[in-house]
Amino acid sequence: MDDFGSLFDEFDVLGAFWVNIQLTFWAAIFAMVLGTLLAVMRISPVPSLRWAGTTYVTLLRNTPLTVIIVFCVLGLWGQLGITLSSDFQRNFFWLSVLGLTVYHAAFVCEALRSGVNTVPVGQAEAARAIGLDFGASARLVILPQAFRGAVAPLGNVLIALTKNSTVAAAGSVAETSGLMREMIEFRPDVIVAIFLIFAIGFVILVVPMGLATTSLSRRWSVAR
């Protein structure tokens, strides 16, 4: 038990987890916005927007997140000189948020589309019948129900995003997977304890999210 205490004194474990939580928070917000936009594009009547949305999702969903984050750091910053923050370390943080965002937006889009699929055809027909155009029927009838139907898949995207925030290590962000590596290097005697600290940390973060989305998706589901 002493080992655990000294590990927390010696290393900023909570600080590392806090970085992951921040990465997840910002990427979740931006991915939600971008993903909703993509989902509207993909169900819109305009062929060129539909095509652009589909292409985006196909490309981003099939690229490994690690490649995207390495691209953001080595490509956007290293080659093109794009900086998102004047602070050197903070710049890597925001570039990783960018990578996490563009990757997970594709999955948010797919989750929302699966939510749209839960809305019965009759509802769209009724919206058309009372004279709503595409914008109005999407905004007033389809999307509100689609969001409620998409709670469970959106929750899965959030869980995946939380775990995937560790990949920011590939973008030189000092977060949990990097700290774990450092801690094992300095304290190889308690290697299993170190692994358990990080593993259980993620269990604590992720399992409540799973339980919350399950119960929310039940509570918010539209009775049909």
Residues 72-111 that bind other proteins (CB under 8 A): 74-75, 78-81, 103-104, 107, 110
H helix runs in the chain, sequence order: 2-10, 13-43, 47-61, 65-70, 88-116, 121-129, 134-137, 143-149, 151-164, 176-186, 191-220
Residues 15 to 44 in contact with other proteins, rule: CB under 8 A: 42-44
d(CA 35, CA 42): 10
User: With binding defined as CB under 8 A, does residue 190 bind other proteins?
Assistant: no
Among 7, 21, 84, 124, binds other proteins (CB under 8 A): 124
| Minimum separation from the CB atom of position 14 to other proteins (A) | 16
Length of the chain (residues): 224
Residues 128-157 binding other proteins (CB under 8 A) are 128, 133-134, 137-138, 142, 152-153, 155-157
**CA dist., res. 92 & res. 72, Å (int):** 9
For other proteins, the closer of residues 91 and 145 by Cβ is 145
What is the 8-class DSSP label of residue 166?
G
Candidates 5-13, 21-29, 88-96, 167-175; binding stretch for other proteins (CB under 8 A): 167-175
Residue closer to other proteins, measured from CB, 93 or 108: 108
The residue type at 8: F
Cα separation of 174 and 19, whole Å?
A: 8
From 8-16, 21-29, 83-91, 181-189, span contacting other proteins (CB under 8 A): 181-189
